[in-house]
Structures are given as C-alpha cells and as structure tokens.
Amino acid sequence: MKKLTASTSYLTHTYPFSIQMEESIPYFGQRFEQIQSPYVRHPLEQTQEEHKYLYASITNVSNFVSVKLSSARNYHLWQTQMLCLLETYNLHGIVDVTTTRSRALSPEMEKQYNSLVKGWIFASISEELLGTVVNLDSAKAVWDKLKSFYDPVLISSQQAQTNKEAETDTESETRGLDKGEIPLDRAYEYLLKVNKGDRIPKRRSAPSEGSFSRSGKFGLILLVNAIYAKKFGLASDLVKKFPEFAVKDDNVLMAIVKNFPSRLDYGEALIYPLLMGDICERIVKRGRDSFEILVNYYQNIMDVIQDIPDDVIFGTIQLLLYITLMGPLAMLSWIYFMLRVVMLMLYFPFFMFYLLFWKVATRVVPPIKHIEKKMKERKKAKEVLALICDEIDKLGHPDARRRLYTGPIHEAARQNLYEVVHEILTRSPTAMQFKDESGYDIIQLAVIYRSERIYNFIYSIGEREGIYRTIEDSFRNNMLHLVGNLPPSQKLRRRSGPALQLQRELQWRQEVERLVAPICITQKNAFMETPDMVFRREHDNLVKEGEKWLKAVAESCSITAALITTIVFAAAITVPGGSNQETGIPVFTKEIAFTIFAISDAISLFASSTSLLLFLSILTGSFDEQDFVVKLPRRLLIGLCTLMLSTTTMMVAFAATLFLVFCHKRPWMLAPICVLSSVPIASFGILQMPLIIDFYRSTYGHIFGIPENNNKLKTNDI
C-alpha cells in the first residue's frame, strides 16, 4: 500500500487544502483513478466544490456588474462585466457550451451553479426585461435570449439573412404593385393560393409562380398599399392571416397614422345620429339611482323602527322627523325619474323617424352618404390599428415595442390623432417617454404642432405632469419657447382667417403659461431669447395680417349696416300706404301686416345701428396682441349677429310692405313673396354663418383640459 503524506496526522474538513496526493489510493483492490467517473468524487474534492460554491454564492454582483441591462445601448458593457464575473469563478461554461470546462461537476452541483448564474443575471437586468426571461429554465437559455435581443453581431446576421430572402423576391412583382399595375384584390387572392401550396400559372399582370411563398417584402408592400388605398377590410384580413407582415417594420403602423380617417367636422357631427345610446344609458343610470334612493329610504325607515327605544313618544317623534326630512327627497327623485321616462317615450318616436330618414338619406343624399362612409372607415381603421398593436405586443421584448411604436406615435402626435396615441399608450405606457430624432416626446410635439387632443394627455399622467413645468430641449428651450414658434402652415390654415389664427396661438400661449413654472416665463434659451421675445418675433407678421383682415371685414360690414340703417329709417318715416291727411295716422294701422312691418322695421333699425357702432369701434380701436384673444373677436361676433338680424328683419318689413300695397284681397301672393324674401336671408346665412360659428367656438369654446372618451392611462407605468 502506498503512503499518504499530509501536513497533519488527522484529516479534518477545516484544512482540506493542505492534503497532497502522491499517488492514487487503492480502493477495494483497484486503483482509484481507474474506477472514478466524471461525477464520482473523492470526499475531499466534494468538499472543495462545496466551499467554492459557498464562496461564489455570497458574491455581491453589483461589485462586478455596475451596469443594469435595459436596452441595446448598454448591452456590450453589461456583457463584458458579466463575463468577467463568470470567468472569475470559472463559470463561463455555464452560458457558453463552446468553452472547455476545467473540471466536471456533479449533476447536483451543476444545477446549483446554474441557478446561481441565473440569479446573477436576473439581479443585473431591468424589471421590464426581467418579465421576458423570468420563466426560462436555464442560465444559458436566459443568456441566449438576451443575446438574441441585443447582440449586434447576431442581429446583423439575422438582418442579413432577412435581406437576402427579401432580395430573392421578384422585382417585377414589387414594382408592379408599387405602380398599381396589380389590383390589390387579385394580389391578395394569389397570396392566399400560393401560401396554400397551389401552383399559379404565370400572367403578365400577376406575380410569377411560387414567388409569394417567400415574398415577405411583397406581402408587406401589399399590406401598406391596402392601408394607403383605405381598403381596411383587406388590410384586416392580411394581418389576421399573415401577422408577420404587421411587425416586420414600422411602415405598416406608420401607414395607418398617415391615412387614418379624419373626424366629423362640427356640422357633420350635428346631424349624425350618435346620441341615442348615450341618452338611453344615462336615463337607465338615473333610474337605477332613483330606485337605490327609494330602497335606501325604506331600509333606513325599517332600521329606525327596529331601533325605537322604550320611550314610545320619543321613538315616534324620531320616526316622523326622519320621514319628514327624507320623504320629500325620495319622492322628488322618483318624480324626476318618471319625468325622464316620459320624455324618453315622447322622444323615442321622433328619434326612430330620424333614424329611418337617415337610412334613406344615406342612399339618396351624397353628403350624408359621405358621412356614413367616413364613420365606417374610422371604425374599420380602429380595428386594423388594434390588430397591428396586438401583433406587436406578442413580440414580447421592450426593444421591439420601442422600434415599432416610436415613429408612429410621434407622427400621430404631429397629426393630432388621439385614437392612435391612446391605443399605443394603453398597451405601452412608457411610449410617452420615447424621444424623436430632435429629442422631443409626444407632449412637446403636441405643443410644437398645436395638437390639442394629444396635449390633453398631460392631465391624465399624474405626477409626471410636473416634469413638463421645467423641461428643456438641447437648446435650453422650455415649453414656452416651443409654443412661441409658429406651427406648420397647414396647422394655421385650419382657422378661418389671420385673426382667428392669432387668437388660437395666444390661447396656446396662455395654456402653456399656466403649466410651466413661473421662472420659465423669463428664462432665456441658448440664443439668449426669452419666450416673449420668441413669440413676438415669430408672430409679428401674423399680428399685422390679423389687423388688416379685421379692418377689411369691419369696413365692408359697416357699409352694409349703414345702408340698412338708411333704408329702414326712411321706411319708418314714409309708412306704406301713406297717412290720413287730417289725423296723420297711417292708413293700414288696423292691418296685421302693418303691425309686422312696424315691429320688424324697428328691430332692423336698432340691430343695424348696433352693428354699425361695433364695426366702427373695431376700425378705430387698438390692435394689441391680447385684444385678439377676446375683445376684438367678441365685437366682430356681436356685430355679425346683429347685422344678420337686421338683414332678416329688413326683408320681413319689405315683404309686409309688398303685401299691404300690392296684394289687397289676394292672399295667394303671400307665398311667392315669402319665398323670394327668404332668398337673400338664406344667402347671407349660408355665407356668414360658418364665420359666426368659428368665432363663437374659438372665443367661447374650450379645447384644453377636456378629457376624451376612455382617456384613462395607468399613470404608475408612465
């Protein structure tokens, strides 16, 4: 038997590393080295592995890995530090099978080290990223998953493979689809057939045989073109059958943003039957509340009766007092509910007739048919948008959402598309923090592009609203500097004239002033300009154009008002039919038509005089910036309304005069006189009413702080 030398005569676990093996120890008549397997360890070696694992398990990962992995931006630093940690403990073979391990481990130790390395990785990545890899079994699976997300070498090789497949698509087919040479419906049919394995014969106007089976690029172009053509039904079918087309890049979602159907304008919204469901829902809710009041009233009475004390007199007084105080309230609530039910019963037949008229008008009247078509397109576009976002959510990792959502949500903020922005933020609340190439998020873009529906999201983000009080861009421009710059011309042209354009700009400035911190009002940017200096420089020409436009409108309207005043004043002096020579009393005093003439002539005179004075006050008044907010628009609005009233009553007085003088005992002539008199009234109303409505909505309407339907976000996730 060979000798075993040791520094001590007694082997203990306290000094395991002082033992030196000269030769193999005999074990049941055999050499130990001949019978040992990779997983059968001498007790000394097992003790060494246990101590090494214990030493590794108490390691503070943050001492080695100072970077917390969150995106591709810091992946290289994180990977380098993590590999250094693994190499320190000779564990890099856990995540890299190509690396030769210096020692074999037993299955139990292999499992323990695998859990240890996986825990190290979990401790050094962001919480959002942890959700995508937490369910993976091994440390290597977690490592490979993160590598597939962020490793630039692997991503570039995958992209090269994708580009190689795309280059194999038939160029003639792609060019034909881009130029519109292939109908979308036919292209979709061929795409379905080829993906089912059918053989398609070659045609001049259709894709060649078998090209669709590998034509991801062709399918993507087909989907984008279907959206641009507003074939949302076809686009919906494509996304459902080929979901990979929707997530190949952001072109599909960007196409939705650029071609999302517009909302109904003010006039269209007035006639579209949208209110029936809302009215019924509110009536049912009020009725339910009324029933709850009655039930609570009854329950409280029963509680009072049960709690009546032994003193019958005191208990009776308490019960009568409760009935006296709460009884009228319950009865009023019930009466109010019954009145609403009666109103609904009276309103329902008229609304049903209105719906019937609407259905007929959509087939006969082109403008109403256009409204119906627009609403259907909006509904289908929302469905396609939801389908695309569903496919993006299925990708799982955050970088995919950032890559596919960033461009579209910024473009939607520029276009004031609330529906798109709300859909994206509902699925990915962190998208509100995404920056564009200039470093702006959606709230800053909403201010720059005057997108009030997007700006109103600031009222639903809770604590993050305070960030925008002092936020600055790379040129130290705060929110007031941004609103001081002129928006794009297409945004300005949405208003009727320069005066309304300047009014809206001033309203935006006042709104942002209420948002930002007081110090930002006088803060200078990198060009040493305050917000007030930027606003005056950018809007100097608009102020001049607004002043010129208001004076032109006031001057032309004042001429019309002066003419009407002269005419009705002369008509009041020379009454129709003349006067009695002896008494001076008009001849037609007892006629009803004469009474109508007198009243309408007086109203016309007073209204025209009022409008004339208002227009003169505009011509002779000041044109300071702040006057364009309320003062000048209000004067012009009242002047236009009184001018329209004076024109209408003047025509009524003229019609009454014609009837008195020329239609004696011929009442049938009243009909043509009324029809002809209504022509100038209708003409003036059609021409001037849009301007009056615009002035009223712009001056007295509110566009800020108005929550949209379902405008609810998880503020904790933003």
The DSSP secondary-structure symbol of 74 reads G
Residue 468 to residue 459: CA distance in whole angstroms? 11
DSSP letter, residue 15: S
Residue 716, SS3? Answer: helix
Tell me phi and psi for residue 6, to 5 degrees. -150, 160
pLDDT digits (tens, 9 = 90+) for 686-699: 888 889 999 999 99
pLDDT digits (tens, 9 = 90+) for 538-584: 999 999 999 999 999 999 999 999 999 999 999 888 877 776 677 77
pTM, whole model, 2 decimals?
0.65
**CA–CA dist 177, 179 (Å, integer):** 5
- The domain spans of the chain are 1-36, 48-156, 168-258, 284-370, 543-700
Rounded distance between C-alpha atoms, residue 218 and residue 187, angstroms: 10
Beta-carbon count within 10 A of 529 CB: 19
pLDDT at position 169, please? Answer: 45
pLDDT at 192: 66
Model pLDDT, residue 1? 39
Asked if 651 and 706 count as a contact pair (C-beta separation under 8 A), the reply is no
Which parts of the chain register pLDDT below 70?
Answer: 1-47, 97-105, 152-216, 273-316, 318-319, 321-330, 333-334, 336-337, 340-341, 344, 462-464, 579-580, 665, 706-718
Distances in whole angstroms, Cα of residue 620 to Cα of each of 17, 49, 95, 456, 550: 104, 97, 83, 38, 11
Q: CB-based burial of residue 272 (10 Å sphere; 0-12 exposed, 13-18 middle, 19+ buried)? A: middle
Map residue 312 onto helix, strand or coil. helix
| Count of CB atoms situated within 10 Å of the CB of 159 | 11
